[in-house]
Amino acid sequence: MIVDDSVVVRGLFARWLGESGKFNVVAVAGDGEMAIEHAARYHPDIVVLDIDMPGLDGVAALPRLVKESPGSAVLMTTTLTERNARLALQCMTMGAVDVLPKPESRSGLTLSLDFRSEFLGKLTSIEQSRGRHALVEAEPSMPHTPPPVGVVDLKPLVSVVPRYLVIGASTGGPRAVARVLADLGEAVHNLTTLVVQHMPPLFTASFADQIATQIGVPAREPYDGERLARGTVYIAPGGRHLGIERKLGHIVANVSDGPPVRFCRPAVDVLFNEAARHLGPAALALVMTGMGSDGTEGAAALRRAGAAVIAQDEASSTIWGMPGSVVRARHASAVISLGSIGPAIRALVGGGHGA
């Protein structure tokens, strides 16, 4: 189902989907109220939902739509503004699986082959992931689940207590990453945390603000050359790589505009490879939900350097692309469900219950 107040956008999306031969558009809607009615009637597999609409907008419609059709995966669309970035992240905490920024101009929307490719690629990945697991597993408000005995004991896998947590995530990542950081409890203060979340500019700054508010720890996009501090969460700036380097005995952020790595910028592989080079076993890596294979090469480098690599399991991932690739390549030290990742890391690094 396509939900957008622009008849041009609705027609364009419907044509692209029809030409792909992979999707059948069962309904279109120009506002939130109509979308809710159609969702209750058709129960679509996927809903493409615009944030900005007159009347009932996408943000207000989302929880009602999910209630009427709980099996529907929702992809939010919006133009790139700071306000819309905050709203999109809010939607992902309420159940949307991902967000797709739309070009600002009508010509950019209709003529951009890159946007069309990204639109169809996201929908294809979402559809491939449907039916294998519940999409609501990553809800941050879910009760903590104790780690199962014998599955998440990472202590034999590392030679030193990790001081750095490096995380890579994509589709479904914002609320999954927030869940893990919340589950760390006081242990988050014992770690320097670096996150590569595949997001465009503006979204990553809002994501950092969201983390700071929800978790109660400093969280921000680092600047190039910034000395990294323990107890702080650093989010890779959208559209820029985040790595690390050692200067005058200190670990500092390396923020760069280098070329995309496997079509990704920021790329998890950049962070992981540099963490392997400069941190070795002092790093603990976490590969979370997302499409593609970004992070697999870096995970191999980290394992060779003596670091442990945790992969989120398939059942709790929105899309098991990135963690699945690491697991299939045999670079994962452990495969853990979302609800058990925080307690496992807490037990490993110390701090809070389970230390």
The residue from 170, 293, 316, 325 that is catalytic is 170
233-235, strands of its sheet edge to edge: 219-220, 233-235, 192-197, 164-169, 283-287, 308-312, 334-336
Q: Nearest-5° angle of CA 302, CA 303, CA 308?
A: 90
User: Would strands 283-287 and 164-169 be described as parallel, antiparallel, or unpaired?
Assistant: parallel
User: Are 218 and 232 within 8 A, CB to CB?
Assistant: yes
User: Are 284 and 165 within 8 A, CB to CB?
Assistant: yes
CA atoms lying within 13 Å on the CB side of residue 79: 11
User: Are 102 and 79 within 8 A, CB to CB?
Assistant: yes
Distances (CA, A) of 309 to 235, 277, 296, 322: 19, 15, 10, 13
If you count DSSP H runs as helices and E runs as strands, how many of each does the chain have, helices first? 12, 14
At residue 117, what are phi and psi to the nearest 5 degrees? Answer: -65, -40
Q: Which residues pair with 194 in a beta bridge?
A: 166, 234
The residue from 45, 52, 198, 241 that is catalytic is 198
Catalytic residue check, 170:
yes
Q: Tell me how far apart the alpha carbons of residues 340 and 67 are, in angstroms, rounded to a whole number.
A: 27
Catalytic residue check, 144:
no
The residue from 52, 294, 337, 340 that is catalytic is 294
- Of residues 69, 74, 30, the one with CA closest to residue 52: 30
Catalytic residue check, 198:
yes
Q: Tell me how far apart the alpha carbons of residues 302 and 279 are, in angstroms, rounded to a whole number.
A: 9
Buried-state track 92-105, b at ≥16 Cβ within 10 A, e below 16: bbebbbbbbbbeee
Q: Tell me how far apart the alpha carbons of residues 344 and 134 are, in angstroms, rounded to a whole number.
A: 22
Q: Please identify every residue annotated as catalytic.
A: 170, 198, 294
